[in-house]
């Protein structure tokens, strides 16, 4: 079984540029989560989708961040404009109803 697939695995870009992170959840999973992990703050939930609909985006840090899920097999997290403090590892996770979350291997983002 293919797990949660994230791309790119690494991204280095300059401050002010637009960054787009991509996620393909496990087939059949109806919930999708975006997390950010830093040394200072640990793993934080940014946004949660259920059946492609955003349910809880209270963790999205500010308007520079946006997330979409146009269909059940694809989601994006976009940062525009990016800032150095956005540097972190971003994880996508998916789950079926009443089941644990399965995480991808993350995108390591560095903003210079």
Of the ranges 21-29, 50-58, 63-71, 72-80, which one interacts with another protein (CB under 8 A)?
50-58
Q: How many CB atoms lie within 10 A of CB 108?
A: 15
Distance (Å, whole) CA 70 – CA 76:
9
Q: Show Cβ contacts of residue 50 under 8 Å, excluding neighbours closer than 6 positions.
A: 30, 31
Closest CA to 4 of 69, 110, 75, 98: 75
> At its nearest, how many Å lie between another protein and the CB of residue 71?
20
Indicate the residue among 56 and 83 with the shorter CB distance to another protein: 56
Q: Is 82 in the site for another protein (CB under 8 A)?
A: no
> At its nearest, how many Å lie between another protein and the CB of residue 100?
5
Q: Is 49 in the site for another protein (CB under 8 A)?
A: no
Q: Is 21 in the site for another protein (CB under 8 A)?
A: no
């Amino acid at each position: 079984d293919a797990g949660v697939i994230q791309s790119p695995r690494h991204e280095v870009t300059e401050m002010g540029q637009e960054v787009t992170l991509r996620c393909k959840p496990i087939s059949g999973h109806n919930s999708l989560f975006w997390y950010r992990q830093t040394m200072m703050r640990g793993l934080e939930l940014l946004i949660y989708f259920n059946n492609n609909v955003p349910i809880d985006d209270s963790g999205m840090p500010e308007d520079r961040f946006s997330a979409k899920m146009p269909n059940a097999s694809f989601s994006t997290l976009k940062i525009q404009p990016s800032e150095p403090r956005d540097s972190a590892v971003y994880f996508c996770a998916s789950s079926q109803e009443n089941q644990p979350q399965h995480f991808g291997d993350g995108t390591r983002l560095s903003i210079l």
